[in-house]
Amino acid sequence: MRSAILNRFVQKVAQIVQTEGAACFSLGVADNRLHPQAVVSRRDGITRDSIGHVDIDRENPFSRAVADALSRKGPVVLTETTRIDRLTVQPPVLVMPIVWEREPLESEEEPIQRPVGVLTLWAKRDGQYNEDDYKLAETLSNQAAALLVEEQLDEFDDIQAAFSTVPVGLMLVSPQDEVLVANAAAMHVIGLDPLQGRSVMGIDYGEQLTGLIAGVREGGNGYAAASFTSRDNQTYAASAQVTQEGQVILAFTQNPFSTAAEELTGQVAHELRTPLTVIQGNLQTIDAMIEFGIQPEDQEIITEFIDTALIQSARMFRLIAETLNISRIHAGKELELEVEEFDLVEALNQILSELADYLMSHHLDVQAPDRLIVEGDRGKIISIYDNFLKNAAKYSDTGTTITIRVYEDGDDAVIAVTDQGIGIPSEALEKIGKEAGFRTDLSKKQAGGIGLGMVYTRRVTEAHGGRMEIESTVGEGSTFRAMIPKTQPEK
C-alpha cells in the first residue's frame, strides 16, 4: 500500500524535478524526527539519503525551518546553505508543511489540523520562488496529506480487524495522544464505547496512561510497562510500545504473562524491528526506482541496497537464535556450540556493518590485526561483539569514542570494548552477566534495558572455555573484555 502511494507521489514530485531542480518529501513527523521517504534530484535519481531519519535539532537551519513551517502550518523559505540528511543544499529552499485536516467532531468547535510532514523543494534554476511555485507546492502537499489519510484509514481498518481477534485489550494512540483504534477488550477495560477519536487525557484515570506513554516516548528502548487501575478498581498490566511513526500501542492484560517474559517479548520485538525497517525501506526504494525507470548509474546504489538488506537479514537470524538460546539458558539447558574455524576480524567487520546505525553517532576507534583465525561458534561470538558494542553506545553520550580492540594474548584471542560512558559502580561489577535482570541504578536512569545481554555474553564466553572481565570507573567509562581460547578441544 505504502509503496503504491509513494510511487504516485514520487512521480508527482518528479514532474517538478524535470523543470525546476531537486525535491524532497518527508512524510511523517514523530519523536521530533522526520522520516524521509524519498529524496529525489534530477541529477542523482533517488539518492542513498532517502533512507534514514533527519533529527530535528534547533541548531540546523533546515530543522528550524521545518519546525517553523509545522508550527505555523504555512510555507517557510530558507535563505541559508543547509544540510538535509547528508546532502548539502543551496538556497532558496522552500519548506511546505503537509497538514492533515479533519472535520470537527460534535463536541469540538474547530477542525483538527495535524501536521504530518513537510514537502521541501530546492535548487530552483532561476533562484526565486514565485506564486506559481507556492501554489504547486501547496497542491502537492494537500495531495500528500490526502494520500496519507487514505492510506492511514485503510491501515486503521486492517489494524482494527487484527485487534478484534485478540483477547487482550489493545489501543493504538497517535503522536498527539488521540485514540486511533481500540478493540472491544480495551473498551471494556476503560469502560468507554467508542474510544476512537478521544484524547487519552479525557479518559477516566487517563493520567496513568499518559504517564506510561510519556515514559515510553522518552525511554531508550521503545517499550515500557506499568500497572493500570481501571474505574471499577481492577488492576491490569499495561504495556506500551512506540511504533516507527511515533504512535503508541497500549496493551492491557490481567496477568497472562510474568513481567520478565513480557519484557523479553517486548525487547525482542523491538530489536527485530530495527533490521526489518532497513530491509523494508531498501526494498521499497528499489521498488520505487523500478517504477521510476532504472538508469545504468543506479546499478551501484541498487547493489548497495540489496547488500545492506542481506546484512540485516543475517542479523535478524542471529537475533532470533540469540533469543532462543536465552530461553534455553533460562530453562537450565547448556549452550550448544557449532565450532568452526573463522576470522575474528572479518566477524568484527560484519557486526560493524550490521550496527552501522547504532554506532553512527559515536567515534569508533578500531584496533585489530588484518586477520585473527580462531575456532569457535562464529554466530555466538558475533553476539559478544554485538552486546558489548550496543551497550557501549547505549550507556555513553553521543560524540564520545568507543574503542574496539581485537588481539592475541598467549593462547587467548581477546575482544575488548571501551566506552567513555556512565560507568559501573564497583559493587555492581560482580553481578553483571551473572544475575539475570540485574541493572545498575545509573543505567536505569539512562536508557531502557532488561539485563539479559551480558548473561548471554558471559555464558557464550564460558562455553568456549574463556572468561569475561569488566573494568569501570563511574563517570569515566567501562571496558568489557572477553578472553577466548583460540583453539577448542576436540570433541
Give the Cβ contact number of residue 349 at 10 Å.
12
The Cα–Cα gap between 480 and 470 comes to: 5
**What is the smallest separation between the CB atom of 481 and ligand ADP, expressed in angstroms?**
12
For residue 419, the minimal CB distance to ligand ADP (Å) is: 5
Nearer to ligand ADP (CB atom), residue 446 or residue 488: 446
Q: How far is the C-alpha of 482 from the C-alpha of 470, rounded, in Å? A: 9
CB of 355 to ligand ADP, least distance (A): 14
Nearer residue to ligand ADP within complex by CB, 170 or 454 = 454
Supply φ then ψ for residue 470, to 5 degrees.
-130, 135
In the complex, what is the shortest distance from the CB of residue 455 to ligand ADP, in angstroms, rounded to a whole number? 6
Q: How far is the CB of 356 from ligand ADP (least distance, A)?
A: 19
| Phi-psi domain of 332 (left: phi exceeds 0; alpha: psi -120 through 50; beta: other) | left
**What's the closest the beta carbon of residue 52 comes to ligand ADP, in angstroms?**
24
Nearer to ligand ADP, 160 or 403 (CB): 403
Separation between Cα atoms, residue 416 and residue 344, nearest integer Å = 12
When the beta carbons of 175 and 449 are compared against ligand ADP, the nearer one is 449
Residues whose CB falls within 8 Å of the CB of residue 144, separated by 6 or more in sequence, listed in order: 9, 25, 27, 98, 117, 119
Nearer to ligand ADP, 137 or 382 (CB): 382
The answer to whether the beta carbons of residues 206 and 229 sit under 8 Å apart is: no
Question: Which residue in the block uniquely carries the three cell numbers 532497513?
Answer: 278
CB of 309 to ligand ADP, least distance (A): 26
CB-wise, 225 or 455, nearer to ligand ADP?
455
The residue number whose beta carbon is nearest to ligand ADP equals 449
Query: CA–CA separation, 393 vs 398, rounded Å?
Result: 8
Task: In whole angstroms, give the CA distance from residue 346 to residue 351.
Answer: 9
What is the CA 55 to chain-centroid distance, rounded? 13
Do 78 and 93 contact (CB within 8 A), yes or no?
yes
Phi and psi, residue 449, nearest 5°:
180, 165
Looking at beta carbons only, is 167 or 220 nearer to ligand ADP? 220
Q: Which residues contact 381 (CB under 8 A, 6 or more apart)?
A: 344, 347, 374, 415, 460, 464, 484
User: Phi and psi (nearest 5°) for 100?
Assistant: -95, 135
Our CB check for ligand ADP shows the closer of 322 and 377 to be 322
**CA gap 54, 48 in Å, rounded:** 14
Give the whole-angstrom CA distance, residue 297 versus residue 45: 9
Least Å distance, CB 444 to ligand ADP, is 7
Residues in Cβ contact with 402 at an 8 Å cutoff, skipping those fewer than 6 apart: 359, 362, 363, 364, 365, 389, 392, 393, 396, 417, 418, 419, 420
Considering the complex, what minimum distance in angstroms separates the CB of residue 347 from ligand ADP? Answer: 19
Which CB sits closer to ligand ADP, 133 or 419?
Answer: 419
Q: Which is nearer to ligand ADP, 100 or 438 (CB)?
A: 438
Which burial class, exposed, middle or buried, applies to 218 when counting CB atoms under 10 A from its CB (0-12, 13-18, 19+)? Answer: exposed
How many other C-beta atoms are found inside a 10 Å radius of the C-beta of residue 130?
A: 10
The DSSP secondary-structure symbol of 126 reads: T
Report the residue number, 50 or 383, with the smaller CB distance to ligand ADP. Answer: 383
Query: Which lies closer to ligand ADP via its Cβ, residue 210 or residue 400?
Result: 400
Residues that bind ligand ADP (CB under 6 A): 387, 391-392, 395, 419, 421-424, 432, 439-440, 443, 449-455, 478
CB of 427 to ligand ADP, least distance (A): 12
Q: Which DSSP category does 232 fall into?
A: T
Q: How far is the CB of 372 from ligand ADP (least distance, A)?
A: 23
Nearest distance from residue 262's CB to ligand ADP, in Å? Answer: 15
For residue 402, how many other CB atoms are within 10 A of its CB? 21
What CA–CA distance (Å, rounded) separates 247 from 30?
8
Instruction: Pick the closest to residue 222 from 251, 248, 200 (CA basis).
Output: 248
